[in-house]
Amino acid sequence: MNWLARLLGSSVGRKMLVALTGLALVGFVIAHMLGNLQVFLGPDALNSYAAKLKSLGALLWVMRGGLLAVFVVHVGLALKLAAENKAARPAAYARPGRVQSTLGARSMVLTGLMVLLFVLYHLAHFTFGWTHPEHATATEAVQTLTGPVNRHDVYYMVVMGFRQPLVSGLYIAAMALLALHMSHGVQSVFQSLGLNNRKYEDPIRKLAIGLAWVIFLGNSSMPVAVMAGLVDLPGA
């Protein structure tokens, strides 16, 4: 653990840990989106996927714990770096300038904090079912080899949630901010970890921006499809 202490003790090392945890979060965001896109395959696909995740039991809690730890390290170190950056320029320029930095880069703290707020809301909405308990507690009966069982009707919860324009709008706006965060973040990871070079820089930039668009469009497609009636309750 000596190397970890050395990294944490240095600005460059802390940034590397922000990059590594950021990369892990990007991986989660991709997997999360792919799983949820099963909403387009209908209630059975989405609900059995959700049931499969739930059936992981202890493993699910290990994964949740790991994700939480990664998130806390990412946010904690990013905010520590941000505080150090503020302290490094106590007097602001009377006339600030900008030459080539991008909007995504300059808004990392803001987009990050907005994503954090969104994640809290998202958990309250879908994971804990606090904001709309009437949608979150729905179940559906399914036949199994051992007889009928009731499982959580995630599909119903998602459709009822996204039928509300305000909720859908919030999700889409949050995805735009997440995409902006990732459009700089993913390029930045390579530079922070010393993996960038002249040859790969342009492909890396395209990858980051492309990935940000995929995440934005992929995730937004779900509330949009529900509001457009393309994804609807069975029999409706």
* Interface positions with another protein (CB under 8 A): 2-3, 6-7, 10-16, 81, 84-85, 87-102, 105-106, 108, 184, 187-188, 190-198, 201
Quickly count: other Cβ atoms within 10 Å of residue 103's Cβ: 11
Angle at 74 between CA 169 and CA 15, to 5 degrees: 125
Residue 12: which of ligand HEM, another protein, none does it interact with, CB under 5 to 8 A by kind?
another protein
Give the integer Cα–Cα distance in Å for 104 and 221: 22
**Position among 17, 26, 179, 180 found at the interface with ligand HEM (CB under 6 A):** 26
Q: Which is nearer to ligand HEM, 19 or 172 (CB)?
A: 19
Give the integer Cα–Cα distance in Å for 122 and 4: 32
- The answer to whether 43 contacts ligand HEM (rule: CB under 6 A) is no
- The DSSP bridge partners found for residue 147 are 144
Residue 194: which of another protein, ligand HEM, none does it interact with, CB under 5 to 8 A by kind?
another protein
Q: Which is nearer to ligand HEM, 30 or 224 (CB)?
A: 30
Quickly count: other Cβ atoms within 10 Å of residue 79's Cβ: 15
33 contacts: CB under 8 Å, gap ≥ 6: 215, 218, 219
183-212 mask for ligand HEM (x: CB under 6 A)? --xx-xx--x--------------------
**Position among 17, 46, 75, 204 found at the interface with ligand HEM (CB under 6 A):** 75
Binding positions for ligand HEM, 86-125, rule CB under 6 A: 108-109, 112-113, 115-116
With contacts defined by CB under 6 A, how many residues of the chain interact with ligand HEM?
Answer: 27
Least distance in angstroms from the C-beta of 168 to ligand HEM: 20
Of the candidates 168, 112, 143, 139, the one whose C-alpha atom is nearest the C-alpha of residue 54 is 139
Give the integer Cα–Cα distance in Å for 201 and 229: 42
